[in-house]
Amino acid sequence: MSVPLRAVQLNEANAFLKKYPEVLYVDLLIADMNGVVRGKRIERTSLHKVYEKGINLPASLFALDINGSTVESTGLGLDIGDSDRICFPIPNTLSIEPWQKRPTAQLLMTMHELEGQPFFADPREVLRQVVSKFDDMGLTICAAFELEFYLIDQDNVNGRPQSPRSPVSGKRPISTQVYLIDDLDEYVDCLQDILEGAKEQGIPADAIVKESAPAQFEVNLHHVNDPIKACDYAVLLKRLVKNIAYDHEMDTTFMAKPYPGQAGNGLHVHISILDKEGNNIFASEDPEQNAALRHAIGGVLETLPAQMAFLCPNVNSYRRFGAQFYVPNSPSWGIDNRTVAVRVPTGSADAVRIEHRVAGADANPYLLMASVLAGIHHGLTNEIEPGAPVEGNSYEQNEQSLPNNLRDALRELADSEVLSRYIDPMYIDVFVACKESELAEFENSISDLEYNWYLHTV
C-alpha cells in the first residue's frame, strides 16, 4: 500500500472517529468463499494501526467449507503451515453497525501476500482480475443486485424453518401474495429499519418488495459504476438484514430453497457497460439490433453451464429450479421475459441492460459477478451471437440443459477452458476442492427420508 493512499485512509479513520466519538469497537470484515463474513473485533484505539499496518489472518480463511472447517485438499491449510497473510482496509467501507447495543463500527478488508500483492484466493481479487480486462478496453461496468430472503421464526419445528408471527396480526403468513403492500405493513418496522440501516451504512438500497412466498421479500440495490463495490454492498446488506431481524426477534435465511413447494431465494444482477464517454454501449431503441448487447448475451449463454457452480454453489441450490418458480434451467434470453436466463428489461433506450436471473441468494456475489462478467467479455471479444430471443414461455420451448446438481456443475467449471482464461485456475482448483469436500460429506449422510422409506421395507 502506497504512502499517499495510507495517508488518505488515515484521514478517513480520523474523520470517522471524530464524527462518532461514542464508537467503542470496530469489526474488521472479510467475506470467505461462501460469502460468509469473518474477521476480528478491535477497540477503537487500534483502528489507526489497522490502517497503517493491516491485520494478519490465515490464508486458510479462503479454504473454509460452509461449516467453517478448513478443507485441507485446497493446499491452503496445513500444507503451508496454516500461515498468515495480511489484510488491508477497503476505502470508504467504514460505517456504523446500527443494530449494536454497544456502539460499534465495521470495516471491510481484503487479503494480500506479505509482500503486498493481492492474494489470489480472495474472491474480491478474483473479481478484480476479471474487471481489469474491461479496464484495458476503456469500459466501465455498471451493476446492481436484487437480493431475496425469508423472514423466519427464531424457533424452528423439528429443525425446519417456519414463518414468523406478524407483529401486527399475530398470525403466520401462509399465502403467496406477491407484491402485496399489506404484507409489507405486517413487518413494516423490521423492513423499514433495514432500509434506514442501509442508508446509515451507505448501502444504496432503494426498495423492498413482497416476493412470491409467505414472509419472503426482496431488497433492490441501486446501480453503481463499480461492480466490486456493488458486491461489497450485497455482502454488507446480507449482514445488515440478518442483524436487524434479530433486533425484531426474528431470524432470516438466504438459503436457496428453505421450503419445499415454495419459491427459492434468488440473487439477480443487472449489468450495463459504459464507454469512455460514459455512454451505455447496450443502449438501443431495438435491443435485438445492438451488436454489443447481442455479443455480451451470447458469451454469457455460452459460458452459463460453467458458471453454474459459482451461481449455485451448494447442494440445496439446485432445489430452486422449476418453471413455476421463475428459475430458468436452460441458456436462453429474451426481451422483458422472466422465464429466461438472461432478460433484457424494457424501458428507455438509455437504460437497456442485462439481467442475469439464474443465481441463488446463497451465491458469493464476487464469484457470481466474476463468472458473469467473464462471459460478457468473452462474448464481446469473440462476437458471439446468442440466437433468437425467446418469446413466450421458455420452459415450454427449451428443455432443461443446465447442470441440475452440484457435482455436474463442478465438472463443468473444472473443464471450462474459457473461464480458466479469466479466473485463475489455481482458484478454480481451490473452489472445486472445497465444494467436493462438502458434497462428499453430504452424500455420506443418511436422511430421515431414507430411514422412512427403507429401514423396515427392504
Q: Is the residue at 444 inside a domain?
A: no
Q: Over the stretch 96-111, which tens digit does the pLDDT of each residue have?
A: 999 999 999 999 999 9
The residues, any chain, with a CB within 8 Å of residue 347's CB and separated by 6 or more, are none
Mean pLDDT of the chain: 94
**Whether 290 contacts 385, CB under 8 Å:** no
Q: What is the pLDDT of residue 176?
A: 67
Same domain, 68 and 135: no
In the chain, what percentage of residues exceed pLDDT 90?
Answer: 86
Same domain, 233 and 364: yes
**Does residue 323 share a domain with residue 179?**
yes
- What are the CA-CA distances from residue 233 to residues 9, 94, 145, 369, 399 (Å)? 19, 12, 9, 13, 35
Average pLDDT score over residue span 446-455: 95
For 301, the grid coordinates are 449463454
Separation of alpha carbons 361 and 319, rounded Å: 13
Q: Over the stretch 222-237, which tens digit does the pLDDT of each residue have?
A: 999 999 999 999 999 9
Give the per-residue pLDDT at 173: 81
CATH number assigned to the domain comprising residue 270: 3.30.590.10
d(CA 351, CA 272): 8
**Has residue 451 been placed in a domain?**
no
Residue 178: per-residue pLDDT: 57
Look at residue 7 in the predicted model and tell me its pLDDT.
65
Is 20's pLDDT higher than 70? yes
Q: Which domain holds residue 226?
A: 131-423
CA dist., res. 293 & res. 343, Å (int): 11
For residue 200, give the 3-state DSSP assignment.
Answer: helix
- Examine the domain organization and report whether 236 and 352 are in the same domain: yes
Write the pLDDT tens digit of every residue in 175-225: 666 556 667 788 999 999 999 999 999 999 989 988 878 899 999 999 999
Query: How many domains is the chain partitioned into structurally?
Result: 2
The CB density around residue 123, as the number of other CB atoms within 10 Å, is 28
* pLDDT reported for residue 68: 96
Q: Please report, as a single letter, which amino acid is at residue 299.
A: G
pLDDT score at 179: 52
In a shared domain, residues 329 and 401: yes
Closest CA to 25 of 89, 87, 103: 103
Closest Cα to residue 45, out of 105, 109, 4? 105
pLDDT tens across 377-432, in order?
A: 999 999 999 999 999 999 889 988 999 999 999 999 999 999 999 999 999 999 99
Domain with 39 in it: what CATH number?
Answer: 3.10.20.70
* pLDDT at residue 3 in the model: 46
Q: What is the DSSP track for 34-91?
A: TS-EEEEEEEGGGHHHHHHH-EEEEGGGGGB-TTS-B-GGGSSSGGGTT-EEEEEEPT
Give the span between the Cα atoms of 200 and 96, in whole angstroms. 7
Q: What pTM was estimated for this model as a whole?
A: 0.96
Instruction: State the Rg of the chain over Cα.
Output: 22
**Burial letters 187-225, b for 16+ CB under 10 A, else e:** beebbebbbebbeebebbbeebbbbbbbbbbbbbbebbe
Domain assignment present for residue 217? The answer is yes
Residue at a domain's end among 73, 90, 118? 118
- For the segment 318-355, what is each residue's pLDDT rounded down to a tens digit? 999 976 777 898 999 999 999 999 999 988 899 999 99
Same domain, 101 and 139: no
Q: Which residue has the cell 409489507?
A: 184
Q: Quick check: 38 pLDDT over 70?
A: yes
Cα 177 from Cα 180, distance rounded (Å): 5
